[in-house]
Amino acid sequence: MKKIFTMAAVVAMTSGAALAGFKSDMPQGQMPRGGFVGGEEVISTVKQVKEMRDDVPVIVQGHIVQRMGGEKYLFEDATDSVTVEIDDDDWRGQTVTPSDKVKLYGEVDAGLFKTEIDVDYVEKL
């Protein structure tokens, strides 16, 4: 019984010490909503994307200038152009013209002879 009491006292002291420096930014009594806060998005250029490995997550910003057929489009920024694949549901109901600036979130699709971006969603700016 003495061992259990001693162990409980040690656990109570160490857990209190571990939480002593923790200070929540959450107002008292409010439930956390979850998610990540902080850090900024890293916008890659098309030139950088063309040098990346397959399946690397990317964010690019520029203009969709042409439909190439099916779900393939030509995207360009100030550095270069690249083919992007945008599924119908990735547009999220937005209509985009070549004059609209967009941000594309997706992954690099690096093939043997050319690199494309497989878009997860489009954000019209």
Q: Is residue 74 part of a domain?
A: yes
* 19: confidence class by pLDDT, cuts 50, 70, 90: very low
Query: Per residue in 33-64, pLDDT tens?
Result: 666 666 678 899 999 999 999 999 999 999 99
Q: pTM for this structure?
A: 0.67
List the one residue out of 91, 87, 80 whose CA is nearest residue 115.
Answer: 80
- pLDDT higher than 80, residue 17: no
Q: Is residue 116 part of a domain?
A: yes
Q: Is residue 28 part of a domain?
A: no
Q: How many structural domains is the chain composed of?
A: 1
- pLDDT higher than 50, residue 85: yes
* Token pair 């209190």: residue: 16
Q: Environment class of residue 11 by beta-carbon count within 10 Å: exposed (0-12), middle (13-18) or buried (19+)?
A: exposed
Higher pLDDT, 9 or 36: 36
Q: Is residue 14 part of a domain?
A: no
Higher pLDDT, 16 or 92: 92
b/e burial code for range 95-123 (CB count within 10 A of at least 16 → b): eeeeeeebebbbbbbbeeeebbbbbeebe
Domain that holds residue 116: 46-124
Q: Is residue 11 part of a domain?
A: no
User: How much is the pLDDT for 39?
Assistant: 66
Indicate the range of 18-27, 36-45, 69-78 predicted with least confidence. Answer: 18-27
* CATH code, 68: 2.40.50.200
Query: Per residue in 93-123, pLDDT tens?
Result: 999 999 999 999 999 999 889 999 999 999 9
> Parallel, antiparallel, or unpaired for β 57-69 and 81-85?
unpaired
Using an 8 Å Cβ cutoff, are 125 and 101 in contact?
Answer: yes
